[in-house]
């Protein structure tokens, strides 16, 4: 059977599918693992040390590099190799969100913690399958647009999961927020059910030896172990500390959700899309340096916020600027390519692990220092 006879989705339909999947994969993890739930917990008296434990879970998502070869190796030929994974993982994310419904986020904090781990694992498996599906459905001329969709959709998902759901919580409570999260997470499952995945020629799937070979490629070890940790070392502390500082400054949950994730998310999307133009003009190295300096200049401007001073307009502008520059830096870093698709995708995963690990360590350290300063 030829690919033409399989009536594959059009490129536009594929872009819609990918946008839905990339938005959907970030909804629940962004609410549980970053601004949304952490803001609720901090407002209700949970200590910063406990919030730091939640913040550390962000390493679980990029750890998909460990089970990515399993996703590549095992799958249903009849249902579509990667489609079969999505048919399991996306509904599983919906079920995990439903488990939150009868819980109290503070009284049942341990259970919520476990569900957050499960959600990060499912998100990682969904991301691996979605990336591979994009490679299978699109030729080289369409993958550049798909990369842009991935970045922008990720920020949209984070804005909805950590911002819109937080707004629902502030207005209607925990049950309404969880139901909103569940329904939104279920939408991509409908798209996957209607998908027809093309059959791929039989070949040995990439395995763990491919991962081990990455650090032997020129420049990869220096990039992953030096450049990326230095790039993300400070910004991880900023994102961990922003919402607790805003709560201490008297901001409401609704205002925090609106400014940090909705408005901040819009500027992040602009930064991600605009980074491509900057890259084409000055090159990757100079662009990453430019955006790194931008972060270095913007983050210290929050010194006043750390001492309880948070005027609405000034603080909102600063938050949006940091999100814009950070998204541009992330997009620039993710554009680093190696010689093959397999190496590129796995290398991006390893870079993600380094990124999240560095951010997690810095976030935990910063939260601890802030708790010491706050309690005197």
Is residue 375, in this structure, part of any structural domain at all? no
Distance CA 172, CA 349 (A): 38
Is residue 211, in this structure, part of any structural domain at all? no
**Structural element, H or E, at residue 48:** helix 48-56
Q: What is the pLDDT of residues 301-321, one digit of tens each?
A: 888 887 888 899 999 999 999
Task: Return the CATH number at 333.
Answer: 1.20.1250.20
Distance CA 295, CA 165 (A): 28
Tell me the residue range of the domain where 364 lies. 4-202+217-370
Q: Which pair of tokens denotes residue 117?
A: 């781990």
Q: Which pair of tokens denotes residue 290?
A: 């430019």
CA-derived radius of gyration, the chain: 20
Distance CA 93, CA 182 (A): 8
Query: How many domains in the chain?
Result: 1
Q: What is the pLDDT of residues 137-170, one digit of tens each?
A: 887 777 767 777 887 888 888 888 888 888 899 8
Is residue 17, in this structure, part of any structural domain at all? yes
Is residue 138, in this structure, part of any structural domain at all? yes
Q: What is the pLDDT of residues 174-188, one digit of tens each?
A: 999 999 999 999 999
- pTM beyond cutoff 0.95: no
Distance CA 265, CA 281 (A): 25
Is residue 222, in this structure, part of any structural domain at all? yes
Least confident of 46-55, 114-123, 204-213, 251-260: 204-213
**Residue 3 burial class via C-beta count within 10 angstroms: exposed 0-12, middle 13-18, buried 19 and up:** exposed
Cβ pair 359, 58 in contact under 8 A: yes
Distance CA 111, CA 363 (A): 23
Is residue 209, in this structure, part of any structural domain at all? no
Is residue 179, in this structure, part of any structural domain at all? yes
Is residue 210, in this structure, part of any structural domain at all? no
For the chain, percent of residues with pLDDT exceeding 70: 75
């Amino acid at each position: 059977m030829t690919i033409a006879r399989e009536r594959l989705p059009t490129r536009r339909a594929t872009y819609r599918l990918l946008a839905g999947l990339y938005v959907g994969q970030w909804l629940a993890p962004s609410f549980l693992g970053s601004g949304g739930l952490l803001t609720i917990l901090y407002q209700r008296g949970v200590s910063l040390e406990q919030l730091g434990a939640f913040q550390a879970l962000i390493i679980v998502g990029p750890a998909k590099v460990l089970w990515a070869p399993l996703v590549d190796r095992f799958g249903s030929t009849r249902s579509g190799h990667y489609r079969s994974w999505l048919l399991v993982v996306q509904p599983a994310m919906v079920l995990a969100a439903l488990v939150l419904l009868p819980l109290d986020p503070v009284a049942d904090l341990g259970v919520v913690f476990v569900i957050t781990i499960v959600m990060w694992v499912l998100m990682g498996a969904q991301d691996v399958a979605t990336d591979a599906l994009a490679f299978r459905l699109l030729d080289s001329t369409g993958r550049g647009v798909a990369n842009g969709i991935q970045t922008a959709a990720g920020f949209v998902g984070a804005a909805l999961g950590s911002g819109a759901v937080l707004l629902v919580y502030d207005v209607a409570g925990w049950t309404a927020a969880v139901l909103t999260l569940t329904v939104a997470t279920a939408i991509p499952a409908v798209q996957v059910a209607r998908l027809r995945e093309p059959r791929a020629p039989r070949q040995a799937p990439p395995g763990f030896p491919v991962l081990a070979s990455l650090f032997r490629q020129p420049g990869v070890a220096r990039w992953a172990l030096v450049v990326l940790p230095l790039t993300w070392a400070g910004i991880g502390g900023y994102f961990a500390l922003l919402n607790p500082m805003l709560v201490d400054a008297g901001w409401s949950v609704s205002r925090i959700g609106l400014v940090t994730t909705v408005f901040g998310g819009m500027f992040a999307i602009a930064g991600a899309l605009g980074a491509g133009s900057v890259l084409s003009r000055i090159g990757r190295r100079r662009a990453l340096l430019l955006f790194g300096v931008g972060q270095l200049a913007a983050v210290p401007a929050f010194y006043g916020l750390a001492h309880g001073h948070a005027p609405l307009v000034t603080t909102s502008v600063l938050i949006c600027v940091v999100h814009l520059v950070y998204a541009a830096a992330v997009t620039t870093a993710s554009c680093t390519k190696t010689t093959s698709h397999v190496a590129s995708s796995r290398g991006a995963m390893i870079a993600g692990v380094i990124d999240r690990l560095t951010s997690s360590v810095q976030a935990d350290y910063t939260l601890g220092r802030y708790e010491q300063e706050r309690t005197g």
